[in-house]
Structure formats: structure tokens, C-alpha cells
Structure 1
Amino acid sequence: MPETMRAIDIKGDIGPAESLYMAEIPKPVPKEAQALVRVKAFGLNRADIMQRDGEYPVPPWAGKIMGLEFSGIIEELGENSEPSFKVGDEVFSLTYGGAYAEYVAVSTHMLIHKPAQLSWEQAAGIPETWLTASKIMYMIGEFTRGKSILWHAGASGVSISGIQLSVAGGASAVYATTRSDEKCDFCVNTLGATAAFNTTDPNWVDQVLKATDGKGVDIIADLIGPDVFAENLKIGAKDARIVLIGLMSGTTFKKEFDMGLLAFKRIRYEGSTLRSRDEEFQRKLRDKFVSEALPDFLAGKFKIYIEKVYPWEQIVDAHKMLETNKTMGKIICTIN
């Protein structure tokens, strides 16, 4: 009989938060170049909720257990693993899935050494949001110093990371949108955004255009989807890059939009996910993060904002908290 471990599973494979439960499943065995990591903490992401609801196309190699980021301790290494890692090392990482468990098997090409200055909770809250924000800005958005950028859902994990990266990267202006004045204040006064706009105000598009002297924004990080598609075309500058990486408003258009703006402004609107990218892509993204962003965490320049930490036995409550859309930072679960 294979050795087993505890993991969070979904009753019936699809369901609401209440369908999450603690299951006993086989403990993974590390394959070529993989490490077996004992998980200390894992981060929650909206992709987890979409997977739980049956609305996320999970890569076939990912398995059914949720969880895209974690921190923990290496307990075993497969053959030909990266030589910089050894048993007992404290690490954090992205993973294709499986982090809602006592153990996860992950390629050593995706692992990052955890600095002693970072707690397990902080480290678990970094990979998905910070690597996604880096990808949006540099790999797809073609950000360079002096460009302007807007982050929708400004108090979400990805945008909290992205706003900090944008300020540090020398953006000419950093904007955000939220659905509450409290979150707008957080984006400006805590994160350092130039301005933030409450999208419950019907005039928010005009406010963005006024702030940019009618020019519009060079790069837009869209975590919302259909509900802001028409508005993105209006606030995008000429040759703007709009990166779709979230679908908080669903997948179906409910209002008309002016397609002409897409052509006349020469806007490039590109969708992207991180989970479906191959290991080589994720390795390059990891290396860029380690060389360029991680030192700023150690220097105190970047901060991981955590809304709340739950013991993983309270996973149902943690998912419900994420679903409220009221958080201003990561939700983390710990395993004792």
C-alpha cells in the first residue's frame, strides 16, 4: 500500500465552498528533477475557486488537488534535480496544482530558496501574484520606464504586487480601479499608486481620461473581463497593451462595445494564464524574479500584504472569505 497524506478535496469534484473536505490520498513520489516538499503554508487564488466550481481548464498533468503556491521544507529529491537544492532546504514555489496537501511534488526548476527574513506565510503569498504581475508587465505588456499602467481590481493579490512593481520600475503614472473608496485609498496611500478610481461611479472612465490628459493608459492589467472590456478600449492609449489575466465578471459580454477603437488605437488585447505555460517558461520567470525582485523583498522595498491566515482545517471559511471580494491582500492557510 502506498504511503498516504491528508489533502483538501472536493466532494463530487465540483461544488461550493462547503464541498471542500479533508481526504486521505496517496503521498506523491518525486519524479525526474522534482522535489518532495512538506508544505508549511499555501496561498489561495481565484483560480482555486474557478477550479472548485468547474470553470477552470486544469492542465491534465496538474491533478485534481487545488493549490498553486506554497512554502515548505524539502524532504526528498528525485534524480537530476537542481544541485542548488538539498534535503532540509526551506523553499517556496509555484506549482501546477496539489499545494492543498501535506506534501507536494514540484520541479526543482520552479523552486525558490526561502530567505530567513520571510515567514512561511509571507513566502507562500509571493509566487502566484508576483510572478503573474511580472509576466503581465514585462513579458506581455512590454513595460519600460516612463510608461503608464493601470491595474484593475487594485486590492487583489496580483494588483497589489503589480502596483509595487510599477512604482519601483519607474512608471510615469500608476493607476488602479476598485469597487470601494476604502480600497482606492489603500491603493494610493499604502501602495503608492498615482490615483485610483471607484468603478461603481458611472463617470470613472472620464476620470481616467482626465487624469491622463486625454491620452489614456499605455498598459492595462485586466483581472475583470467582460464588464470592463468596453471601458478598456476607451481608456487605452494608442498602441496600448491590455493583458487579460482574470475573469471576475464571468466570460460573457452583457453590453455593447466599440470595436473600432481596437483598430483605430492599434490596441493589442492579449489573454494569458500562467498555469498552462510549460516548465521552461516558468523557470525563466522564476529566474527573473529571483534576480530582480527578491532582493527588494529582503531590503524591505516590497511588501507581502496578507489579509488573513487560517489553519487549513478552516479551508471552507478561507474560500468564503476570498469569495466576498472584500480582501486587501492574500489569504493564507497553514499546515501544522
Structure 2
Amino acid sequence: MRAITVSDDRLVLTEVPDPSPGPGEVLLDVAAAGVNRADLLQRAGHYPPPPGASDVIGLEVSGTVRELGEGVTGWRVGDRVCAVLAGGGYATRAVVPAGQLLPVPQDWELVDAAALPEAVCTAWSNLVDVGRLAPGETLLVHGGSGGVGSVAVQLGRALGARVLTTAGSPARAARCEDLGADVAVDHHDDVPAAVTAATGGRGVDVILDVLGAGALADNVAMLATGGRLIVIGTQRGSRAEVNLLTLMQKRASVHGTTLRSRPLEDKARIVAAVRERVWPMVADGRLRAVVHERLPLAEAERAHALLDSGEVFGKLLLITDTA
């Protein structure tokens, strides 16, 4: 098969041996792979794959089932699927634990389905499992124009929350409002002041944050009493001080999470919940894949440069010749 490998910090399309599915695994013919910021971190040597995972970059794909490993039930060769991976997505074939597969109905675009698994599983597990977001609460999504952010805005709205978000320009903020955000703020402006105005000084119940250290103080200040701050990225650093007294007075909490390194059974649980609760939202149009551009797999280098530029709204996809 062909896969993207890293050579002298360059992304190169190379012939590599085909993977084989082990017990409980499925081999896919990949139609498309989603491009994520974690991919850029892995390429730079800052986010290695978990033990036993493929060292090929790529955390989500769509495609068709080619082969079933021993003990796999519920799936057949030829099924259209998408999946969240611990690695191996930038390739024409990929092995996936069966519990991390999601069906792609015939009326969905198979290529575009690659934009959903990582973002939807990340948004669902953090907003619902960790954040306990409830109808009528207020959610702040940092980076609503990103891959996860564009899904989190839609998901928060579908769950009955009032959604605030930040974006990199007035035009991008307006597009976030088109996705369902009630208030979208240019992140170059005074975000805490905008949140104070939007909430009448109450603050927000849940914050989904990709910024990390550089936004920690403002995030804690923007939390309402009983608020939950969930950090899923460190774009502005990974070390910061927090005023514990403020957290105590607000009876608030700070959580840090990742998806990639979770145990298989935990990922399977999240995927099952997404299939039951979120997939109907995609089917009826409450949530959609937001695709910025589709590029050939061989142009992975350009895809990374685009993502790093900050110009991408939603997801970039790498398409194989099996699509």
C-alpha cells in the first residue's frame, strides 16, 4: 500500500507493507483521512503514537471494509464506514479496532465522512461525559472555526445549550453563527468583556478550550458558579498558574483530556454513544461535516502548511485513489 511517511521533516508518499487485522480488528480501504493539529505535533516529534499503534500519521478515516479480523461481528466486507484511530490514517489501507468504527449510510458522502470521527468523538466525550453540558446552560467554544470547534458549536446547539464561540476574524465569526453559535467573538477583541456582556455578568457553564496556558486565567474568570473548564489543546502553551481561591469561590473545576491515548474499551464506549446519540443528528441535518478543502494524499505537505496557516475553516481531507 501507499502511506505518508516523514523523511527529514518532509511528508513523502511511499510504498510500505500492507497492515493485517489482528483479533477484533478490521482492515479498511481508506477513501479519505482527516487532517488534525495533533498530526502537526506528531510530525514535529511532540505527540508520538501510543505503544502498539501505527507510526503513520492520521487519527481518522473513512472507507470500506476490506477484511475482518478474528472474532469481529456486526460488520461485513464492503461496509461503508468511518473510524477514529490511534494512528495510521494517512494511507491507502488502515487497521482499526472494530469498536472504533461508525457506519456511513448510503446517502452520506463517504469522503466527507472522514471529517467527523475524531471531532465528533472529542466534542461528545468532553461536552457530555466530562462537561455534563445540560439544556439551557451556556457553552463557550474557543476556536469555533476549527475542526473540533465547528462540530462542538453545532453539537452544543443540538444539545439545547446557548453557544458562545471565538474565531480569528469577523468573517469567521459570522460563519460560526451560521453553524448555530448565538454569539461569536473575534478572538483579537476583549473576549472576557464580550462574554460578560453576553451573559449579563453570570459567566459560562462549560468552556471547551484548545488554547491552554495562555488562556487559563481568562477562562477561570469567565466561568459561572459551578462552571467546568475542559482543556483539550495547548496552542498557547502548557504551563500556567491558576488562582485556586477563584476556583474554590466559584465551586468550579478544570479538566484536561485527550482521546488518542484512552484504552480501547473507553474509545469503544465513546464511539457507541456517538453512534446512538450523535449519528441521528447528522442524519437529520442538525450536525454536518464542515470541509474546507479536499486534497490528494500526495499533497499532505500542503495540507499541513494550510492548517498551520490558520486559514482553514473546519476540516482538511486527504483523498486516496480508492475514493
| TM tier relative to shorter chain | over 0.9
Quick one: distance in 2 between partners of 1:261 and 1:56? 32
Quick one: distance in 2 between partners of 1:179 and 1:72? 33
The code of the aligned residue for 2:195 comes to V
**1:257 Cα deviation (Å)?**
5.6
**1:286 Cα deviation (Å)?**
1.1
1:208 equivalent among 195, 215, 229: 195
**1:186-218 CA deviation, whole Å, 9 max, x = no partner?**
111x112110122212x3211211211111000
**1:277-310 CA deviation, whole Å, 9 max, x = no partner?**
1111111111111111112212222211100000
| Structure 2 counterpart of 1:140 | 130
**1:11-52 CA deviation, whole Å, 9 max, x = no partner?**
14xx3xxx1111222211110011111111110000000100
Q: Structure 1 vs Structure 2: percent identity of aligned residues? A: 34
Quick one: distance in 1 between partners of 2:46 and 2:74? 38
CA contact (8 A) 1:44 1:331 kept: yes
1:316 equivalent among 301, 310, 318: 301
**Relative to structure 1, is the Cα distance of residues 112 and 257 closer, same or farther in structure 2, using a 3 angstrom cutoff?**
closer
Quick one: distance in 2 between partners of 1:103 and 1:206? 48
- 1:183 and 2:172 aligned: yes
The code of the aligned residue for 1:312 comes to L
- 1:7 and 2:3 aligned: yes
Q: Which has the higher contact order (CA 8 A, sep 6+)?
A: 2
**1:74 Cα deviation (Å)?**
1.1
Q: How does 1:288-307 map to 2 (within 5 A)?
A: 288-307=273-292
The code of the aligned residue for 2:135 comes to R
Paired residue total:
321
**1:57 Cα deviation (Å)?**
4.0
Quick one: distance in 1 between partners of 2:7 and 2:244? 43
CA contact (8 A) 2:196 2:202 kept: yes
The code of the aligned residue for 1:242 comes to L
Q: State the 4+ residue runs in structure 1 displaced beyond 3 angstroms.
A: 256-259
| Structure 2 counterpart of 1:234 | 221
**1:250 Cα deviation (Å)?**
2.8
| Structure 1 counterpart of 2:97 | 107
The code of the aligned residue for 2:230 comes to V
CA contact (8 A) 2:24 2:98 kept: yes
CA contact (8 A) 2:21 2:95 kept: yes
Quick one: distance in 1 between partners of 2:66 and 2:74? 15
- 1:92 and 2:82 aligned: yes
RMSD: 1.3
**1:258 Cα deviation (Å)?**
3.8
| Structure 2 counterpart of 1:63 | 54
**1:72 Cα deviation (Å)?**
0.9
Quick one: distance in 2 between partners of 1:180 and 1:36? 41
| Structure 2 counterpart of 1:79 | 70
Equivalent position SS for 1:136: helix
Quick one: distance in 2 between partners of 1:272 and 1:258? 21
CA contact (8 A) 2:80 2:110 kept: no
CA contact (8 A) 2:208 2:231 kept: yes
The code of the aligned residue for 1:300 comes to G
Quick one: distance in 1 between partners of 2:168 and 2:32? 29
The code of the aligned residue for 1:28 comes to P
Equivalent position SS for 1:37: strand
- 1:274 and 2:259 aligned: yes
Equivalent position SS for 2:306: helix
TM-score by length of 2: 0.96
**1:157-199 CA deviation, whole Å, 9 max, x = no partner?**
111111111111111x2100122111111111x1121101222
TM-score by length of 1: 0.92
Task: Give structure 1 stretches of 5+ with no counterpart.
Answer: none
CA contact (8 A) 1:150 1:219 kept: yes
| Structure 1 counterpart of 2:15 | 24
The code of the aligned residue for 1:11 comes to S
CA contact (8 A) 1:149 1:218 kept: yes
